[in-house]
Amino acid sequence: MTTVAKTTTPPGTRTAAPAAGTGQMWGRAGLYVFLTVLTIIWLLPVIAAFITSFRTMDEISINGFWSVPQQFTLSNFNEAWNQARVSRYLGNSFIITIPALIGMLFLSSLSAYALARYKFKLNLPIYFMFVAGTMLPFQILLLPVFRLTNALNLYNTHLALIIIHTAFQMGFCTFVLRNFMRTVPGEIFDAARVDGASEFRMFWQIMIPLSLPAMAALATLEFTWVFNDYLWAIILLQDDTLKPVTAGLATLRGQFNTNWPVITAGALIATLPTLIVFIFLQRYFIQGLTLGSGK
């Protein structure tokens, strides 16, 4: 695993050079046909949802899904955005996700720095504890965290979600950042130490800037994870006005139970933020995934 984890810069080497030859050309064409068919089948659920979101339920229930659409409408999106309050849910998702991201990156860079740069007795035990924590089933935390948020008056607040996400994801972030920071050569810091820089300055002014690529990758990945959380949102929140979009979507099914076009429209809107992040930061996202593979 660490063979994957130790490097962030994707090596430019390719396993096999493209092979030439006439027989190969047909093979290529066949491969493309095969892949295209496979891709379409693979994406069919999404394509179906997409098409459905522009149609009316009346038409679908009368003519069936596979009929030729008679008319396209944008009203489902309008309805999902306004009546189904997806706009508000999306806002909540950001209010939860962004601080949690900042919190987990900051705190885990502190712990990663300590674990990567210093030799001390508890170094490895603490590191292993973080690594083990990344794989914990959430259920083991459910009841105590529920009680804890109650006792601290954090229940039914965004802060509760921000804290639990920060705490839970810290293990993974520490794991990744620690391994990244170990690749930074110690000589850089020796020079700074001679200049009289404090430990914190070295951390803040040298290590953090150097770690930014790894952090960007982590942030991209963690964004989707935290944004897509459902379990904690339904456990720790009770007001509809506070719910993130994942928990809000479940409500759609209740409010528009037979109106699938509105439901699929809402689901598609809900996916937009992570999709945009994914499209624009794809390289980071993939890097993040492969960085630790510990998730």
Partner 1 sequence: MSRNKWFIAVLLISIALLSVASVLAQDNSVAFNSYSSDPVPRAFEESMVAAWNEAHPDMPVQHSIINHEDFKQAIRAYLIAEPAPDVLTWFAGNRARFFIDRGLIMDISDMWEAEGFDEAYAPGFNALATVGEGKYFLPTSYYWWAIYYRPSLFEKAGIEGEPETFDQLLDACDKLNAVGITPFTIGARFRWPAAAWFDYLNMRTNGPEFHVDLMLLKESYLDERLQATFANWQKLIDRKCFVESPAALDWQEAVDDMVQERAAMYLMGGFIVDSYPDEMEDDLDFFRFPIIDPAIPVGEDAPTDGYFIAAQARNPEGAKAFLAYLGSKEYQQAAFEQMGRLPTRTDVDISGATPPVQKGIQLIQSADYIAQFFDRDTTPPMAEVGMDGFMRFWDNPADINAILQDMENERLRILEEESE
Partner 2 sequence: MAAALQIKKPVVRRRINWTPYLFLLAPLALYFVWIIAPTFYTIYLSLTNWNGVDPVPGFVGLQNFERLFTKDRTFSEALLNNVRWLVVFITIPTTLGLGLAMIFNNEMRGGRWYKISFYSPLVMSLPVIGLIWGWVYHPRAGLLNGFLQAIGVSSPPGWLGDRELAIWAVIIAAVWRQVGYVMVLYLAGLKNIDPSFVDAARVDGANRWQLFRHVVLPLLAPVTTIIVVISIIDSLRAFDLVSIMTRGAQNTQVLANFMYIEAFNNYRMGYGAAIAVVLFAISLVFIGFYLSRVIRDELEY
Q: What are the residues binding partner 1 (CB under 8 A)?
A: 61-62, 103, 106-107, 110, 146, 150-157, 159, 163, 166, 198-201, 203-204, 234-235, 238-241, 250-251, 253-255, 257-258
Select from 73, 123, 157, 255 the one that contacts partner 2 (CB under 8 A): 123
CB 294 → partner 1: shortest distance, Å? 23
Cβ 85 to partner 1 shortest distance, Å: 10
**Binding to partner 2 by residue 154, rule CB under 8 A?**
no
* Number of neighbouring beta carbons within 10 Å of residue 84: 24
Name the CA radius of gyration of the chain, rounded. Answer: 24
Provide φ and ψ at 148, rounded to 5°: -65, -45
Tell me: does residue 26 bind partner 2 (CB under 8 A): no
Which does residue 150 touch among partner 2, partner 1, none (CB within 5 to 8 A, set by kind)? Answer: partner 1
Q: Which of 77, 113, 172, 284 forms a contact with partner 2 (CB under 8 A)?
A: 113
Tokens standing for residue 170 = 């810290």
Q: Please say whether the beta carbons of 217 and 291 come within 8 A.
A: yes
98 binds partner 2 (CB under 8 A): no
Distances (CA, A) of 289 to 21, 153, 223: 36, 35, 12
Decide if residue 230 touches partner 2 (CB under 8 A): yes
Quick check: 253 binds partner 2 (CB under 8 A)?
yes
Which CA distances in Å does 65 have to 8, 253, 261? 45, 19, 11
Helices (H), 134-240: 139-151, 158-181, 187-194, 199-201, 208-227, 231-236
Could you tell which of partner 1, partner 2, none binds residue 231, using a CB distance below 5 to 8 A set by kind? partner 2
Of 76, 92, 111, 259, the one binding partner 2 (CB under 8 A) is: 111
